[in-house]
Homo-oligomer: A and B are copies of this chain.
Amino acid sequence: MNLIDREASKHDDAARAGWMYYVGGMTQDQIATALGVSRQRAQRLVSRAMVEGLIHVRLEHKIGACLGAEAALKRRYGLNEVRVAPSLGPGGDSARATASVAAELLETYLARAEPQVIAFGTGRSLSAMVAELSPVPTDRHKVVSLIGNIAPDGSASFYDVILRIADKLHVQHYPMPVPVLSETAEEREMFHALGPIQSVVALARSADVIFVGIGQMGDDAPLYKDGFVTREQLMEFQARGATGELVGCVFDEGGAYIETPLTARLGGVRIEPGRATPVIAVAAGASKVAAIRAALKGRLVNGLVTDEATAAALLLS
């Protein structure tokens, strides 16, 4: 038996065990007996099924408090579309909490009859959202990336939100084959002068819906941790009031973009404030509150998926 078959059958077993456990409500002992394996192995299979995302869980009930927070956020910040996921408590992973709710929202756009062009940023929140998507094939929509997919080290693997969506939904997909951050402004211009890239950029600009993450600009800002800016640059940004970041573009606490040496080297498409079409941020967590508030104030986004604790913080003050 070759390696691929073995991997596949392992997945099969895990899926089967997970199905029996979560759908069938069987105990791990029963599963072990049914599959002819030890109880420990059954336990491992079940837990693997969950870890590998073979099992999707979704909540089919709007909790009153979340509905209230949604309404309040809409009113307070003049948003069109808000979803608030129940909080998972202090230790919880906020990306996980938002993921399934964000996936549900995305699915409402995918369910539309009119072909939609849907643009995506990157980040952990969006990755988690995609992992929670139901893989219902829909061939009429297009998905496009707002941000370059060539990482500093040349790999494209980390920035694959688009690819994984396309894989799940079998939609036409348009990654943006430019460096996330070019070495020089000239290099950036060179890429953007290419015809195919101009089409992708045009498509992204014309998107009917946009889903983005929001990055914070504290000392552990994603931009810094992922190696796009040096510690010195980050500190300079902070000194100039950098509060958050949207597909690489840094903004201050009023949500106004800050021009930086990076600006001219950044591949991809900047999201201009006050867009008429839905621009939905998927973001939650205490560290992101200031960044989210700034983006909302500056009308960089007009929709939000977050969790209860973050919503509460955004409604304070």
User: Residues on A close to B: CB < 8 A?
Assistant: 8-9, 11-12, 14-16, 18-20, 22-24, 26, 30, 34, 53-61, 63-65, 85-86, 88-89, 91-93, 96-97, 100, 104, 107-108, 110-111, 113-115, 134-138, 140
The complex is assembled from copies of this chain, and their number is 2
What is the CA–CA distance of A113 and B111 in the complex, to the nearest angstrom?
A: 8
Q: What are the 6 tightest A-B residue pairs by CB atom distance, in nearest-first order?
A: A24-B88, A15-B61, A22-B57, A54-B61, A56-B58, A113-B113
Say whether, besides A55-B58, A59-B55, A111 and B136 are in contact (CB < 8 Å).
yes
A24 touching B104, Cβ below 8 Å: no
CB distance from A98 to the nearest CB of B (A): 10
Say whether, besides A26-B92, A55-B59, A64 and B134 are in contact (CB < 8 Å).
no
CB distance from A306 to the nearest CB of B (A): 15
Interface of A is mostly: mixed
B57 touching A97, Cβ below 8 Å: no
Q: Which of A18, A24, A110, A135 has the most CB of B within 10 A?
A: A24
What is the CA–CA distance of A26 and B97 in the complex, to the nearest angstrom?
A: 12
Say whether, besides A107-B136, A113-B115, A60 and B64 are in contact (CB < 8 Å).
no
Which one, B24, B91, B140, contacts A113 given CB within 8 A? B140
What is the CA–CA distance of A137 and B12 in the complex, to the nearest angstrom?
A: 33
What is the CA–CA distance of A24 and B108 in the complex, to the nearest angstrom?
A: 24
A86 touching B136, Cβ below 8 Å: no
